[in-house]
Amino acid sequence: MWAFIDKVNALYPPGAVDFSIEEQRALYNDVCRVFYQGRPAGVSSWDEDHGGVPCRRYELCESDVTLIYLHGGGNVVGDLDSHDDVCAEICDRTGYRVIAVDYGLAPEVVYPGCFNDGWSAFTAVAEAFDGHLMLAGDSAGGTLAAAIVHHARRRVAGRIIGQILIYPSLGGDMTRGSFVRYANAPHLTTQDVIYFIDQRLGGAEPPKGDGCFAPLQDAEFSGLPPTVCISAQCDPLAGEGETYCDKLRAAGGRAEWINVPGMVHGCLRARGISPAAAGFFDTVVEAIDALGQGRWPYQ
């Protein structure tokens, strides 16, 4: 993991949020290319629009489960290519149809624009494909996946059978817990989180009690599908998954928080060089696979 941390830092140095948006995107794309794992043989993919939003579909075989994936990147960086190998491998290992969504990024698109893109894509996918739906996302993509699930619970009743959130940012209290304990963690600091939120808002004040912006600020946590939050221990966002799962269980739902020791934010990319990071990704895939089958393998 230290080799991974050092290699990422050499490509996307600490404090990169001080660079221009164009420089941040170029550096992030370099990181994605260096750690790209390729697509497994047999997985087909093509680009298509859903709800007017660019998307990429991955298929291995016929499936009655469609997983909608929202990529991370702080709502500032990332695209269909940045998580191409992640989505292709999830498709290969589960057999589920995967549709990645290229929602608009800040500062060009600010809230609620990114949510509107995600919601438009989700509703179009729900109309285009029969069967079960799941949502997954990492980091800022986890924020958006959870926001869509909250908004959809009374609009697409029974269709969503699970959500899998990978080191998500959910709008918790940034003055305590992991935000303090891991304020200066590798690859994402608490100050970085604040920067990305400000970019997402375009400098505006955060909305209050808006679950589409910050799922932890929603007033209602009942009626949500089975949820697995998988966090990296050394990450200011680690406690977000714990708080969120506690709220879902208190409201009578099924939720499991898995905090993986020794991992850092963005460790999905380390799975090719770190056995522990490969295990982290195994945990993600196993959760997706189980929820897609309607199984709950947790105590």
Active site residues per annotation: 139
Look at residues 229, 232, 204, 207 and name the one whose alpha carbon lies nearest to residue 218.
Answer: 207
Question: Tokens in use for 89?
Answer: 């491998």
Question: Do residues 211 and 247 touch, judged by C-beta distance below 8 A?
Answer: no
Q: What is d(CA 73, CA 221) in angstroms, rounded to the nearest whole number?
A: 26
Look at residues 235, 252, 229 and name the one whose alpha carbon lies nearest to residue 162.
Answer: 229
Look at residues 139, 95, 99, 96 and name the one whose alpha carbon lies nearest to residue 269.
Answer: 139
What count of Cα atoms within 13 Å lies in the side-chain half-sphere of residue 115? 18
Look at residues 163, 127, 99 and name the one whose alpha carbon lies nearest to residue 292.
Answer: 163
